[in-house]
Amino acid sequence: MSKLHIDAHDLTLRELRRAWDGPVQVTLSENRRNAVQAAQATVNAIIEGGDQVYGVNTGFGLLANVRISNDELSALQENLILSHAVGVGEPLSDDIVRLIMVMKVKALAAGNSGVRPELIDAICTLIDREIYPLIPAKGSVGASGDLAPLAHMAGILIGSGSARVDGKEITAAQALKKAGLEPIRLAPKEGLALLNGTQVSTAIALAAVFRTENLLAAAVTASAMAADAIKGSDTPFDARIHAARGHASQADVAQMLRGLLDGSTIRASHVDCERVQDPYSIRCQPQVAGACLGVLRHVGDVLKIEANAVTDNPLVFAETGCILSGGNFHAEPVAFAADYLALAIAELGSIAERRIALLVDPHMSGLPAFLVKDSGLNSGFMIVQITAAALASENKSLAHPGSVDSIPTSANQEDHVSMATFAANRLHTMLDNVIYIVAIELLAAAQGIHFHHPQKSSAILEQAYALIRERSPVLEQDRSLKPDIESVAMLIDTGGFRKLCASLLPSLEE
């Protein structure tokens, strides 16, 4: 099991990816434990002094002016969790929930939330024991924090709700017993600290970043295979062209394409051909995939900041003994990042679909019509291109920004919201679509390369070809390609091409 030590340093994308990839053991440093205790002492001192502080001894939202007596402060926090646990829809996956919990530990450990160390320890225990609260995917507007989903996470700690262990749903009481924990009686502000925060929208968006890395590696590999299959020119990938423009991500993709194609005997066979220029889907791969890589890097940077941020409210500053109310829970940075990533995902699918169309067109590719012998009797790859077109077109609608929407909540107290959770959630539908498109392109490009045998592609692309052939034999005559598409899509989504393009991927650069 991987280990994560929470201290004053920021978690890196690589560490966050580890928390998403598989089970982790989380520990808290002594300096973070001291900071947490100092903040909690500040909260206690303010309560004892009789000051009124939002969320500590008042109601919430529009009820912020309602003073709560000291003997009801624990009930106030418990009621907050129970009343807010109203999410709906399918539960989030365990990998996303684990990432949510890790980021919540990181935020609480900063020492600005006023909770007790034992509350953080309880979350760490659940993570260590691989006990993941059942969190519905829908119900957050991404402002005042991801309230409903985080209430479902917090509910387990007080003995409410459900959890999942080894894929099986169990009650909160069973989950606590399995973890060796008792239900926690919440101290002042602890319920609010658990519910406020952008950890859900950020985790969903980060998971999309990590899946996009897997997709990008496969997409760049597929594009190189497609270029070789149509006997395309590698001149457009020349380093001098990309240095003249100056975009680092574009140059990086061009360098990767040169490396992927290096040593191809298919390429060597047509060095002196009369073709002047290839279609844009081949020639402009560095410009398009490079721009997508630039987006991915930017989004990764934004979400890394947010993953390490303190986003609950109000915030405790023990060094000055004050509690300040603000709005770090507003997830606008996450919403913008998710919307930006949506454009890159859509474009990776759009250009891949165009390369599929190119491969199946004998006038453009020089290959047999629809990549099959005896076309006419056989339809070959005719209809899989239509499937890719349908998926690419669907993503055009899904790419519409979620962040431009806002709907007032809480009797207009929360009158502008980010919609970050929706913006992040829809990325996964888009990714599913593009992963299928790129799976189809890999199958089509492999079929195209097959027609050039005994000439070989480069050593790296022959590795990719072998990976595909392990899951999909050459199409000699018509058969349903659905099982082949599903198998290659799974290979993409689980990082099967990641090692071929590892130097491009943000979470592997650190």
Q: How far apart are CA 360 and CA 365, in angstroms?
A: 7
Q: How far apart are CA 435 and CA 490, in angstroms?
A: 8
Q: How far apart are CA 492 and CA 436, in angstroms?
A: 9
Question: In what helix (H) or strand (E) does residue 258 lie, and over which residues does it extend?
Answer: helix 248-261
Question: In what helix (H) or strand (E) does residue 393 lie, and over which residues does it extend?
Answer: helix 382-398
- Residue 54 catalytic? yes
What lies within 8 Å, CB to CB, of 347 at 6+ separation is 288, 291, 292
Q: How far apart are CA 324 and CA 326, in angstroms?
A: 6
Joined together, the tokens standing for residue 183 give 């239900």
DSSP track, 268-287:
HTTTT-S-----HHHHTHHH
CA angle, corner 503, sides to 500 and 506, nearest 5? 120
Place of tokens 């978690």: 11
Joined together, the tokens standing for residue 27 give 């520990």
User: With b meaning 16 or more CB within 10 Å and e meaning fewer, what string describes 212-235?
Assistant: bbbbbbbbbbbbbbbbbbbbbbbe
236: nearest Cα among 250, 216, 222, 254:
254
Q: How far apart are CA 184 and CA 63, in angstroms?
A: 25
DSSP track, 112-172:
-S---HHHHHHHHHHHHTT-EE--EEE---SSSSSHHHHHHHHHGGGT-SEEEETTEEEEH
Place of tokens 């399995």: 178
Place of tokens 């669907």: 394
The count of C-alpha atoms lying within 13 angstroms of the C-alpha of 202, restricted to the half-sphere facing its C-beta, is: 36
| Catalytic residue (one of 54, 132, 436, 465) | 54
Q: How far apart are CA 147 and CA 195, in angstroms?
A: 5
How many angstroms from the chain centroid is the CA of residue 205? 4
Place of tokens 């929470």: 6
User: With b meaning 16 or more CB within 10 Å and e meaning fewer, what string describes 2-39?
Assistant: eebebeeeebebebbbbbbeebbebebeeebbebbebb
Q: How far apart are CA 131 and CA 97, in angstroms?
A: 10
What 8-state DSSP symbol labels residue 27?
E
Q: How far is CA 308 from CA 15, 92, 158, 206, 287, in A?
A: 12, 21, 25, 12, 32
Joined together, the tokens standing for residue 186 give 């919440």
Residues with catalytic annotation?
54
